[in-house]
A and B are shown apart, each in its own frame.
Chain A
Amino acid sequence: MEIFFGILQFLLLALILVVLYRPLGDYMARIYTATTHLRVERLFYRLTGVAEDTEQSWRAYLRSVLWFSAMGVLLVYVLQRFQSVLPYSLGLPAVPEGLAFNTAVSFVTNTNWQSYSPELTLGYTVQLAGLAVQNFVSAAVGIAVAVALIRGFARKGSGTIGNFWVDLTRGTLRLLLPVALVSAVVLLAGGVIQNLNGFTEVTTLSGGTQTLPGGPVASQEAIKLLGTNGGGFFNTNSSHPFENPTAWTSFFQVVLMLMIPFSLPRTFGRMVGDKKQGYAIAAVMATFYVASLLILSGLELAGNGTATALAGGAMEGKEQRFGILGSTLFGTTSTLTSTGAVNSMHDSYTALGGMLPMLNMMLGEVAPGGVGSGLYGMLVLAIIAVFVAGLLVGRTPEYLGKKINPREIKLASLYILVVPVLILGGTALSFAIPALAESVTGTSIWNPGNHGLSEVLYAFTSAANNNGSAFAGLTANTPWLNTALGVAMLLGRFIPIALVLALAGSLAAQEKIPETAGTLRTHKPLFVGLLVGVTLIVTALTYFPVLTLGPLAEGLL
């Protein structure tokens, strides 16, 4: 019976995403190709001194991304350091330096890793003026970079790839803000709170006392999911009843996470003038999504593991109103996008079940991935796939009429190497250097044995992929992990962005070559299959050895 309802839940989700695909994808294409500016946008440009009709080269575009993001880190850092004097800080002190750095980087990079417990650390001003703002703009940056890459494919002999400031402003004002506003009201109606009440002490029915939290949660919640950010207002994120009160709000949050990433292939298809290319990319994303959801749901329903079997079901760290299948749907979505929100505790999943969120992130978050980052990640993999196909048949590889030259392949290869280096390097350092290992095994790790390794591996996977979810038993608020994870988030975000923009620049500069009989048809099922295979091989297999030491050992031995 439970399975039957789970299938209905999935079918409704698929239906909603299919219905949204065209209108939302087309709308986003219009946003980024429109030649006119809204009045409010002109006001923004005047206030910030942006020349809105000037196009940028890829280098200038990248400089703008980096400059804007650096300002973001600085602002969020400063707000946290001066928390004690800000209004609505609930009497909380300034955030310590290491944690403030980690948190600032985390929200600017669209990761939303949280080394801290929000209720105990952050007041309302930092949450709103610091974190919520980054929830919007970091998402808008991701989409802007993806759009810049699409322009690289769409343009011929062009020295420019768009204007970052215009893309940023339009993405925020025409897409994210209106959808977030409507969604916030929907969540409010479902019971998500929005007040400035602080903590209230109440006397319970049986005469005890209880503290109830307040806060402007609904406004934060909507953009947290829509922008695939994932940073919860409360410690337990979307499992907290004030963030996610019912089964239908949980389902709605899943839709919010998926609607932009799954519709962006349409935007891509439309902007390169071949909608079938969009369908092919969406099909690859959907294949991974369905497979991952099925496996995780099966593993959690089976409920293997000593404690799980003893309790009679995998309900540790899950909420009754969502049940197992409402939890696995959310967990799969959150880790296949770059959201990292949780409505159940991944640390308490069954051993093999807990490996799935990790594998999802290790795929590079491309199915469908974060807003923007998912699409550009998948397009880089498509370039690799085209290259592999070219090698097999002995032809110069091309994609969408652009030659894949040594320069493009070098950029794409570097792209797929960055994240594994960060994950495996970070995890290895945590155990290999005695002083660090002492801190990691002594302070940070919560569960002993193989599961402890999984906690650290999960943390670096989450940080380098800008996901932000965690095996939350891990105490990450230590000097080593705050710093290492902060650096992993920064490099895991901006090196790939730099490579993607370089790729966009070099593609835009090329002329289109005409299609011939020998051109690989990149919208056919054959290519979809090839891309699925390439994605699996170049991403997930990299991690197989370390997975055998963590979740595989725990689950199979």
Chain B
Amino acid sequence: MLVFTVALGVVYPLVVLGIGQLALPAQANGSTVTHNGAVLGSALIAQPFTSADGAPLATYFQPRPSAAGDGYDGGASTGSNYGPENTDLISAIEGRKAAIADFEQVDPATIPADALTASASGLDPHISEAYAMLQVPRVARERSLPESTVEDMVKSVLQQRDLGFLGEPSVNVLQLNLDLDATEG
């Protein structure tokens, strides 16, 4: 058992560590995003775009709801684990629907499912194309940009299905918001 522990528990992970750090350092260290020299997060981990009191910032695209810690806590990933008939989940979805309809000034019936439901990890960095497009008018208005400009930015960060058919098309919220900030320079 000790021999296996050394070979599999020490040598093997260190070899992978070596390969990762030497050949693929960006990925191995968490695909971090830097801005003006400071690390401001990971392209793979959703982060909140809220003011200090927790209200969503109207100038940014908003990610999916999160059940991780107080929201988007990278130290405590979790989903809500609510069952489909759980009354807490039903009222949470109703609440989100009303809040988003109000925030985006849209018909509640047009809000896509990913905007109303907490992700599995609580750290899902992506939203659907539909949810991104829903947010375009509000962000454009708040930033005094033409809607078409913001729409083009969504399209430029939209990731299509892997290999053309795996998974779902998705929009990376952090990447999109960074692009927005860069436009205003």
Interface residue ranges, A against B (CB under 8 Å): 2, 5, 8-9, 12, 44, 47-48, 68, 71-72, 75, 117, 119-120, 128-130, 132-133, 136-137, 172, 177, 180-181, 184-185, 188-197, 199-200, 202-206, 208, 210-214, 216, 218-220, 234-236, 239-242, 245-248, 250-251, 304-308, 310-323, 326-327, 342-345, 347-351, 354, 446-449, 451, 454, 471-473, 554
Query: Measured between alpha carbons, how far is A316 from B92 in the docked complex, in Å?
Result: 11
The 4 tightest CB contacts between A and B, nearest first, are A247-B167, A305-B84, A313-B113, A473-B81
Contact of B82 among A128, A251, A316 (CB under 8 A): A316
Decide: B93 and A311 in contact? CB cutoff 8 A.
yes
Interface centre among A9, A250, A316 (most CB of B within 10 A): A316
Contact of B121 among A129, A239, A454 (CB under 8 A): A239
Query: Measured between alpha carbons, how far is A185 from B20 in the docked complex, in Å?
Result: 7
Decide: A189 and B118 in contact? CB cutoff 8 A.
no
Interfacial chain B residues near A192, Cβ < 8 Å: 27
Q: In chain B, what residue has the closest Cβ to A44?
A: B3
Decide: B3 and A136 in contact? CB cutoff 8 A.
no
Decide: A323 and B168 in contact? CB cutoff 8 A.
yes
Decide: B9 and A194 in contact? CB cutoff 8 A.
no
Contact of B27 among A2, A119, A190, A343 (CB under 8 A): A190
Decide: B81 and A194 in contact? CB cutoff 8 A.
no
Known interface pairs A120-B76, A305-B85, A351-B84; 20 further A-B residue pairs with C-beta atoms within 8 A, sorted by A's residue number: A48-B3, A75-B5, A185-B24, A190-B27, A194-B16, A194-B28, A205-B60, A206-B47, A210-B74, A213-B75, A235-B78, A311-B117, A318-B117, A320-B64, A323-B167, A342-B120, A345-B81, A348-B89, A451-B85, A472-B78
Interfacial chain B residues near A72, Cβ < 8 Å: 1
A and B contact pairs by CB, cutoff 8 A, 19 listed = A9-B165, A48-B3, A75-B1, A136-B8, A172-B4, A177-B12, A181-B12, A203-B40, A206-B47, A206-B49, A213-B75, A236-B78, A250-B166, A307-B85, A313-B114, A320-B114, A320-B170, A446-B82, A472-B78
Interface centre among A307, A327, A351 (most CB of B within 10 A): A307
Decide: B1 and A219 in contact? CB cutoff 8 A.
no
Decide: A189 and B27 in contact? CB cutoff 8 A.
yes
Decide: A136 and B4 in contact? CB cutoff 8 A.
yes
**Interface membership of B150, Cβ < 8 A:** no
Interfacial chain B residues near A12, Cβ < 8 Å: 163, 165
Query: Measured between alpha carbons, how far is A354 from B84 in the docked complex, in Å?
Result: 10
Query: Measured between alpha carbons, how far is A48 from B2 in the docked complex, in Å?
Result: 9
Query: Chain B's nearest CB lies how many Å from the CB of A206?
Result: 5
Interfacial chain A residues near B41, Cβ < 8 Å: 202, 204-205, 210, 212
Query: Measured between alpha carbons, how far is A185 from B28 in the docked complex, in Å?
Result: 10
Count contacts on B: residues with CB < 8 A to the other chain.
90
**Interface membership of B106, Cβ < 8 A:** no
Interfacial chain B residues near A197, Cβ < 8 Å: 29-30
Interface centre among B15, B16, B42, B76 (most CB of A within 10 A): B16
Interfacial chain B residues near A306, Cβ < 8 Å: 84-85, 90
Contact of B113 among A5, A312, A449 (CB under 8 A): A312
Query: Chain B's nearest CB lies how many Å from the CB of A309?
Result: 9
Interface centre among A44, A172, A248, A311 (most CB of B within 10 A): A311
Query: Measured between alpha carbons, how far is A471 from B83 in the docked complex, in Å?
Result: 9
Interfacial chain B residues near A191, Cβ < 8 Å: 27, 31, 44
Decide: A310 and B166 in contact? CB cutoff 8 A.
no
Query: Chain B's nearest CB lies how many Å from the CB of A224?
Result: 13
Interface centre among A129, A172, A317, A447 (most CB of B within 10 A): A317
Contact of A208 among B17, B19, B50, B112 (CB under 8 A): B50
Decide: B121 and A241 in contact? CB cutoff 8 A.
yes
**Interface membership of B154, Cβ < 8 A:** no
Query: Measured between alpha carbons, how far is A172 from B57 in the docked complex, in Å?
Result: 52
Query: Measured between alpha carbons, how far is A164 from B153 in the docked complex, in Å?
Result: 60
